[in-house]
Each structure stands twice: as structure tokens, then as C-alpha cells.
Structure 1
Amino acid sequence: MRRRSARKHPSRPLLRRSRLIRLLGALLLAAAATGAGGGTAEAAAPAVPADDTDPRARVVPVPATVTPGGTPYTLTRRTAIRVPGTAQARGVGDYLAGVLRPSTGYPLPVTAAAGEDGIRLRLATTGREVEDLGAEGYRLEADADAVTITARQPAGLFHGVQTLRQLLPAAVERRTAQSGPWRVPGGTITDVPRFAYRGAMLDVSRHFFTVPQVKRYIDQLALYKINKLHLHLSDDQGWRIAIDSWPRLATYGGSTQVGGGRGGFYSKDDYREIVRYAQSRYLTVVPEIDMPGHTNAALASYARLNCDGVAPPLYTGTNVGFSSLCVPKDVTYDFVDDVVRELAALTPGPYLHIGGDEAHSTSPQDYAAFMDRVQPVVAKYGKTVIGWHQLTGARPAEGAVAQYWGLKGDEREVVAAAKAGTKMILSPGNRAYLDMKYTKDTPLGLDWAGYVEVRQSYDWNPGAYLKGAPASAVLGVEAPLWSETVSTSDHIEYLAFPRVAGIAELGWSPAATHDWDAYRVRLAAQGPRWDALGIDFYRSPQVLWE
């Protein structure tokens, strides 16, 4: 997963210079594309339609079906957000008002009063109009009188609101009053996700990120209908979650990070706040405690977890594969039971990730024995096991999920497990890993999986990726962001955007809609939105940014 040492963190001026170089390159490509006989295939993408009448020109992920046409709806000072229904639906209305009020300057009252005008959020649990929407789908209809979003569940309303945001001008994302006008194209969108699991992972172990930083990333992910936040809470360089029965894990094991910084950890209340905030954006938190390898922070905290009873020093480098819990010791499983019990009690979602990758210091026999004892512990506390795909080399428990991070999709044990019924989350390193460098010249990231430009990250089919495995084995996709070279929110955004938007589209949109040339036009329309949101993104020369 993380096979190369990190490079020195670039300074913000270096990032700015890199972005300037790429912006100039994109302008040159655009100029070449308009010249007689000049340009390249990458530079020949059509511009986003100026009239914005077709939602397919702007929305990422692209909706399943779109019927454009009719008179646009225009927000005015008289617009109300009408949300008759549950408290959860009301929460979606309040969220939408919070997005729209600063930029429009309009009061946008959220009301339970019925009406045929304004922005209407409707929950309908029965009837033909919603029978095809499932738990996360929605229907958005816009005409001169109203925008109506209909769903079976509040999650569907929330996803519909994200589409509505993208149908409005990008300036709607700003936190100060803008001039408008605020028009929504007329037509109907009916939209459901392709995969149930659409995730992003943040490594808070190599470098620690605060609760506000995690919340910021959650807000960014929610815009693209990501519904899982995988938090990598432990590794060799840091243990980031308080465990009452083993307090030194956090206070000592969490006291540093890559490069020797002060580190940090989440108290249980901190973690509960992350979970609560993620739930308010319809993301489920998936916590990971990586084991039996990637455990130096735990081994340094408690000598008795080591086979020789001697605690190693804390580690602040970036090598992998050198640490292991002591598989034969009974105390190892007391430790695992306590950690899983406390973490499961904090986590309302169904999954708990046990890692399992790069256990090079654990023999294959010990690895299989460890997984045989640990997977039932996760089940005992009511959670479904997720493990990195090395779990398929042991004996995956019934119902366990494997997360694939390889490069080719042809690993014999992975394919065999998929055929036997083990569900797969796809995160191929040379496609979905957000910590890979875009090019040799980009200042952040690693390159053990190669350079991953925007097209390579987007242009693959999850349903057909594992060679010989059935498409039905794929639970979904996830975009991991490892933090060897990442220490600020600015760094997170530069590596995640634009690529996380493409992974989100692969997870949400139907396979039949997959088309790079169409996607990069819609992606170009996200640039002004990211600018308005203050997202520090990589301006790939493969995209003609607006």
C-alpha cells in the first residue's frame, strides 16, 4: 500500500508555482485547440454549453437519466424551502438553506407549509413515483414555478440537494452575497447509485488531522455523493483514537507523526463528533485499526504486546512491513477484544476495518491464525469485517469484505475469493489512490504505483476490473488518501481534487454513462465551484478548466 519513502513536504509557494505552471500549460493547450490544425486530442474537448440548459453539462456524478427542457426556475427573495415530513427531512432543508443564504442574500425560510412554489423536498415511501429510487435515489423536477426533489429516504433528498447545488451557478458556494441570477435549468432528473459503497479514506495516522479538518473534508466529499468515510486510525507512526482500557495507545502512541511532529489523537467525544457530523452529511464512518502489521505505535505503547516483552521506540519514518503483533500471545487477543469492543460501541455504522496489509513480519501461518481469531471478535460486537485484500490469502469470514489495492486485478486469491462470494471494495493503487503523484513534476505524493493523472484515475470500469470475477462481487469503490507527504488541508485538497470526483462518479453513475470526453467537460465546470469553496485543486492540463 505504501511502499516508498515520503518526500519532503513542499511549501505553499511551491504548490502555487506548480499550479501556475499547470494553468499556463492549460491555457496554451486551449489556445492550440482553437488554432488551425494545432492542439492535441486532450485539448479538443468542447466547451461547457453557455446557456446551461442541460444538467448533463455540469453535474458530477452524471445523473442516471436526464430529460432537459422547459422554463428554468429562478430563486428570488420570495423563495421558500418547503419540507413537510420528518425531522431528518427538515434537517436536509436547513442544510440547503445554510448553503444558499450567504451567497444569494435571500431569507429562504424553511417551512412545513405545503405549496406549489419554491424549493420542495418531498418524502414518499410508497407509490410508483418512488418505487425505483431505493434508499439513496431521488427525482428532481424543475420548472418555472418550483424545484421539487422527491425521495424515499432522507439520504435521497440530501443527494438531490447536491445536484441542485451544481445546477446553480458556482458563485452560490461563496460565503458572501453575490449578484446572481440564480437559475435552475428546467427538466427532470431521475438518479440512483450504481454501487452501495462509495468511499473515501483519510489516513490520520501518518499525519494527524483535527476534527475541523476532517469535517471540512466530509463537506467536500458530500458534494459528490460519497457515502463512506474510512478513517485509518492506527499505524506505525501514530495511534489516533482513545481506548479507555489501554490509555497509553493514544497518549503515548499518538504523541508523534511522520517527521517527528507532535501528533495528536481523538478523544471519544471527538470521534463521536466526527461520526455525528458525517451522519448529518449522510456519510457512514468506517474506522480502521490496522493489524497485525502497521502496529509499531501500539507495540511502543505496551511492552507486553511484543513477543520479547521489549517495547520498540516510537517511529516517525515511512517504511512499512517491519512491525507485528505477537500472534501466539493471549494478551494480543485481550488487546484486540478491548479495542474492537470500545470502537464498535462508538461507531453506529455496520463496518469495522481490521487492516491486514503488508504484514511482512508475520509468517503466513501466523497471519491466517491471527485472522481466524480476530474476525469473530468483530462479529461478536455486531460489525462486519473489512480487510485489505491480503485477507483473501487467509480465510475470510462469511460476510467479510476485502478491499483491493493492487494494480492489475488478476491476483489469484482475490479473484477466487470474489467468485466464492467475498464482496470487494475496489481501490486499485494506480487508479484510486489519491496520494499518487499526478506527474513527476507535481510536488506532493508518492509514485510506487506510477503517476496517476486525472484521466487514468477516471477511465476504468469497476464492474469489470477483477479479471474473471463476477460484477456482482463488487460492493463499491473507495479513494484512499495516505498521508506520508500530506500534513495540511491544502495538501489533502490538492491530491484529492479533481480525482476524488471521478471515483465518486464511477461509484454513482451507470456504467453506460462512462465517457472521458463528456466527463472532462463536466469536470471543467467544477473548477469555479472549487474556487468558490476555497478548494486548492490540481489544474490538470488534461482538462480545459473554465
Structure 2
Amino acid sequence: MSTLGISSPTPDPTTADAAVLHPHEPEAGDLAALAARTAGDDLLAPPVRLDDVVPAPELLEADPGTTFVLTGDTAIRVTTHPGAREVADHLAELLRPATGLPLPVADALAVDPAGPMTLTLAGTTPPPVTTGGSADLGAEGYRLDVSGSGVRVVAETTTGLFYGVQTLRQLLPAAVESPTPVAARWALPGGTILDRPRFPYRGAMLDVARHFFAVEDVLRVVDHLARYKLNHLHLHLTDDQGWRIAVDSWPRLATVGGASEVGDGPGGHYTKDDYRRIVAYASARHVTLVPEIDLPGHTNAALVAYPELAPDKVAPPPYTGTEVGFSYVDPADERTYDFVTDVLGEVAALTPGPWLHIGGDEAYKVKGEVYTGFVERAQRIVADTGKTVVGWHQLAPAAHVDGRVLQWWGTDTADPATADAVRRGARLIVSPGNHAYLDMKYAEDTPIGHDWAGLIDVRRAYDWDPGTHVTDVPTTAVLGVEAPLWTESVTSLADIEFLLLPRLPAIAELGWSPRTTHDWARFRERLAGHGPRWSTAGITFHRSPEVPWPATPTIPGQRPAAKSDTAER
């Protein structure tokens, strides 16, 4: 039997995880069994190239002519550890539908240690690839080795192991994304990949306040992030048009404030159990949830529910338009701070991640010292919950608190106030509106989206450097990069995917890959290979004319993707 083994991390932080896949070359009976499931000519398709991975790995060495092939005898072996076992189960769930292989998951100790297919727990210093590079894989790094006799993934944590699995997935033929069995030769190209992220924070934001999206839609977005090694999902939970999270101490926020959205739709909100489900699903895919409660502006929905928070104590009508800057909670009333304390406390208690985002942008009617005074008090309230405060870069003039993170969304790289906040200790998440805002149109004729920050085609999303983008902010102060998706014109999951893809992988590469690997000409070629993967999985995307998409083959035994899944909407 061939095995794919995944070892667990041990309590000793100096011990690394390992995964090993031990194949045998397919026999005639193996291929005949595949062909019997469905007809097709994918059996002898060449393997994906080792350097086709997105985001680009830090280092790789191809071994031309060497492949590893999954067969009916392949099994997944994992040493005893819950986190590593979850990664192994995830891998099996990814591969079983298309391959039709059983891929049983079992304890690695079940493998005969004297046999040719054994699992070896790696130490802290796996040998470097010959092109150089440290063997320290860190909290998210991994090493993947593919030879004719096995595939081995090594990581120091289950997070690194999970990312190694995402790379392994990309090295299999595009047909692996099929929800039904496909006749294919499930081969991986030979060689070694050593891979670690450039920035610790790599994320995307989904605005569920302008338009509400069901839990299942949010989970689908989590899957897209995990596929490209993005590790944070920022949920914009509150705005003028709707309040989307239940708060026990202020129940009308959700039931009243959540009953509206742009265009006068029905709105909606997440119960605490809904939110926990999103958190748990994201955590299983090594994605940290970052909740945003936007303050002191963008609060019309809260004022509809609780007029006592309004400066004039009069409830405004529900707002279903798209203007900004007109609403705010009363910064002079202590009841406002009771509200902020209660809401942030409940949201923090639901959120295991370290971050709590308080917005802070476009509060045009709260100015000067009144604004900074409100922000400074809100920052202290966040600190009291045990979380680290994150806010849009308009928070910059306020006094610094330990760990404070500013999210910069400007379109002009010179920003003295933000640079000054960084000198006082702030770190930066970089989300330039004219490069990273995924609600911007691709081109003038894009049917949805905005253009206030300009048109953002795939190259514009890719051709910039988060580490040096903001003037007078050193790379060491950049925590990472995030791609926001605002939803004023976005009403469905198909709309979300159309604007995310193919730009999301571009942002992911900026956050993960070393700057030295960034090359538009090569990236567009690598990205092109993902079109058939998305089509096979039924994922909507924009067929950008900048990318040399291959013709999408018909996957035997699978319904072809609808035109709207793969073409201009």
C-alpha cells in the first residue's frame, strides 16, 4: 500500500511536523479502474509544473522527469495529534471527490517501520535546498519534497502543514477540483519547495453591512482565502445600512438595525451561533476572523435601533442609499460609552483571534479633539477586552496604545499623519484603494463595482509593493496586506467571486511571496492555470484579457460550468 503520512507537532516547539506520501507506480489495473469510472483522455496528461504554484514559493528545485502518482492503494498516515489529524482529514476531503480514491486516514504507527513506506518525524533542521535558504520554517512555513518514491511535507506547526497541503493540491491536475470522479493520472511533479510568508498578516475584507450575505456565502469566501494562503478574514459587520451581529445587551441592534440594506432589501443578521460557526470554519482553515464595529461614524443602523445614541436623541429613518459621513453616535453622552463597552465586550468574547477593528473612517461630523478623544477612549475599551485595536488610518492622530494597528486605504502614498503614528509605535496593514480595493471595476464596462479610486485590472492589483508603498513607513512596520471588498453594488455570491477572482491571488502573492519573486509576466502565466480549476469547481471569475487563460476542457463525467461562472457578467 502507498501512504501519505502527516505527522503531528509535539509539545516541544523544536519538533517539526512531517507528512509523507509513498506511492508506487500505477499498474495497468489501477489505470483501468480509473478509466472504468468515466471515459476521457486526461489519464496521460502531464503533471503541473512545480513552479506553477500561486503564491510563488520562496525557493524551489524541480526534478524533471520525476513524478509521484496517487493510486487506489494510497493512504494517508498521520501521527497522533488532533491538529495534524485535522489537516490529514482536510487533505482527504479535498482529494476524494475527484479522484474517487478511498484515501483512508490512519495513524502512521500502523505502517510497518521495516517496510518501504514509513513516516519519519522531522527535526528542526530539515536540510536546505541546494540553492540555499534557512531551514527555519517558522509558524507558517513548510517544505514539500516530491520524489518517485514519495511525497513529504514538513512543517513546524499544523498551520504550515495546512499550507503545504494547499500547495500539494495545486500540483495535481486541475481536474482535482471536480466534485465528481474523473479519469485522470493523479501525478505530482518531482522536486522540492521551501516556502514561508513574507508578511504575517494576509487578508481580505468582506462588507456584509451594505448587503447581507448568508453564513454559507461567508464560508465560501473563507475557502477562497485558504486556497491562496491568506490568513485573515475581516468582516465589516456594521454600517449605516445594517447591523449584522447579535448583541444580547442591545438586542434591537440586530432585530431592528439589521432589517435593512442597500436597495431596500430585507437585510439580516448573524446570531451568535452563526458567528461562532463562521469563526470555527475559518479556524479549521487557519483563517483568523477580524470583526469590525465601525465607530463613531457609519452608525445610522444603530441609531435607528437606539435613538438615545443619536446626538439629537431622535431615531433617523433606515438608510438604504450609499452616501457616507452623515451619521455618528453622540461622543458627549456617557450612554454612548456604555454602548461601546457592551458591544465590543460581547464581540471580543465571541472572537478567539487577537484583533478588534473599530473602523474610525469618514466620521466627518466628529472633528478635531472630539474625534481623537472618542477614539482614545474606544482604544482603551478594546484594550480592556484583551484584544489589539485595529482601525482605518484616520485613527492616526489619536494617542498610541500598545500594539495599535492602522489599516491604510489611501490612494496617495504620502501620508504624514500615518507615518507619524508609525513613528509612535503603530503598525500598518496596507490596503491602498487604487490597488487593493476589490470593489473597484476592472475596466470601464465592468457591470458592477466602483471607480472612485480608479480602475483596477489584475496587473494594477499585482504591480506594487506593500513593504514600501507608504512614504516614510519602513517595511518593518508593515504587518501585512488586505484586500477589501465593499458591497454597495454586490448582491450575490457570484458577484463576490467575480470581483475577488482573479485579483485575490495577486494580493495573496504580494503578502506571501518574497519580493524577489514578483514578476508580472510569469505571474500571469501561473494565474492562467487556475482558470480551469475555478471552472471545474463552479467558481465565478472574471476572464481578464490580461491573462492567457487556456481553453477550459470538458471534465469527463462533470457538468460544464455555466457561462456566467467563467465569463463577463
Show the counterpart of 1:288.
292
Q: What residue in structure 1 maps to residue 40 of structure 2?
A: none
> What aligned pairs does 1:109-508 form with structure 2 within 5 A after superposition?
109-114=104-109, 115=111, 124=122, 126-128=124-126, 132-508=136-512
Partner of 1:9 in structure 2? none
Identity %: 56
What CA deviation, in whole Å up to 9, does each residue of 1:433-454 have, x standing for no partner?
Answer: 0000000001010110010000
CA deviation after TM superposition for structure 1 residue 395, in Å: 2.2
| Aligned mates of 1:491, 1:119 — CA distance in 2 | 46
2:327, 2:121 → 1: CA distance?
A: 51
1:288-347 CA-partner distances (Å, limit 9, x unpaired): 000000000001110110121111111000000001110010001000000011001000
Q: Cα distance, 1:85 vs. partner? A: 3.4
Q: Please tell me whether residue 106 in structure 1 is matched to residue 101 in structure 2.
A: yes
Q: Which amino acid aligns with 2:519?
A: D
Distance 1:134 1:358 in 2: 38
Moved more, 121-130 or 394-403: 121-130
Q: 1:73 to 1:102 in 2, by over 3 A?
A: same
Q: CA deviation at 1:83?
A: 1.2
Amino acid at match of 1:392: A
Rounded Cα–Cα distance in structure 2 between residues aligned with 1:264 and 1:220: 23
SS of the residue 2:294 aligns to: coil
Shift of the 53–397 alpha-carbon distance from structure 1 to 2, 3 Å rule, reads: same
Deviations 1:220-264 (A, max 9, x none): 110000100100000000000000000000000000110001000
Gaps of 5+ in 2: 1-44, 128-133, 551-569
Equivalent residue for 1:544, pick from 545, 548, 561: 548
Residue of structure 2 in register with 1:60 after alignment: 54
- Residue 295 of structure 2 aligns to a residue in which SS? coil
SS in structure 2 of the partner of residue 290 of structure 1: strand
1:80 aligned to 2:75? yes
Q: Deviations over 1:94-114 (max 9, x none)?
A: 011011011001000111124
Shift of 1:128: 4.8
- Distance in 1 (CA, whole Å) between partners of 2:155 and 2:312 is 58
Cα deviation, 1:339-371, whole Å, max 9, x if unaligned, reads 011001000000000000011111122110101
Cα distance 1:121–1:505, how it changes in 2: closer, same or farther (>3 A)?
farther
Q: Give deviations 1:460-512, integer Å, cap 9, x for gaps.
A: 01111011221101000001000001111000000000001100010000010
Cα-to-partner distance string for 1:394-442 (whole Å, 9 max, x where unaligned): 2232210000000122111012222332100000001000000000001
Change (3 A) 1:427 1:254: same
1:17 matched to which residue of 2? none
- Asked if the contact 2:400/2:424 (under 8 Å) is kept, the reply is no
Q: Residues 272 and 72 from structure 1, CA distance in 2 versus in 1: closer, same or farther, beyond 3 angstroms?
A: same
CA contact (8 A) 1:121 1:157 kept: no
What is the distance in 2 between the residues matched to 1:157 and 1:178? 27
What residue is the counterpart of 2:63 in the other structure?
A: 69
- CA-CA distance at 1:535 after TM superposition: 1.1
Give the match for residue 43 of structure 1: none
Match of 2:86 among 91, 94, 101: 91
- Greater relative contact order, per chain length (Cα 8 Å cut-off, separation 6+): 1
In the alignment, the residues of structure 2 paired with residue 208 and residue 191 of structure 1 have an alpha-carbon distance, to the nearest angstrom, of 37
Q: 2:197–2:513: 8 Å Cα contact kept in structure 1?
A: yes
Matches within 5 A, 1:512-531: 512-531=516-535
Deviation, 1:118, is: 11
Distance in structure 1 (CA, Å) of the matches to 2:299 and 2:493 = 26
* Paired letter, 1:65: L
Secondary structure in structure 1 of the residue aligned to 2:437:
coil
SS of the residue corresponding to residue 529 of structure 2 reads: helix
Q: 1: CA distance between counterparts of 2:121 and 2:377?
A: 44
Secondary structure in 2 aligned to 1:216? helix
Hey, what's the Cα distance between the residues in 2 that align with 1:247 and 1:426? 34
Cα separation, partners in 2 of 1:118 and 1:334, compared to 1, 3 Å: farther
Mapped to 2, the partners of 1:444 and 1:118 lie a distance apart of: 56
In the alignment, structure 1 segments of 5+ residues that lack a partner are 1-49
- CA RMSD of superposed structures (Å): 1.7
Report the Cα distance in structure 2 between the residues aligned to 1:195 and 1:125, rounded to whole angstroms.
25
Q: CA deviation at 1:120?
A: 8.8
CA distance in 2, matches of 1:371, 1:158: 38
Q: Is the 8 A contact 1:53 1:68 kept in 2?
A: no
Counterpart CA distance in 1 for 2:194 and 2:217 is 33
Contact 1:237 1:256 in 2 (8 A): yes
Kept in 1: contact 2:243–2:302 (CA 8 A): yes
State the SS of the aligned residue for 1:403: strand
CA contact (8 A) 2:47 2:173 kept: no
| Cα deviations by residue, 1:158-184 (Å, 9 ceiling, x for unpaired) | 000000010000110111000110100
Query: Could you report, residue by residue, the CA deviation over 1:499-538 in whole angstroms, capped at 9, with x for unpaired residues?
Result: 0110001000001001000100000011001111211100
Are 1:532 and 2:536 an aligned pair?
A: yes
| Equivalent-residue separation in structure 2 for 1:155 and 1:123 (angstroms) | 17
| 2:417 counterpart letter in structure 1 | E
**Contact kept in structure 2, 1:125 and 1:153, CA below 8 Å:** no
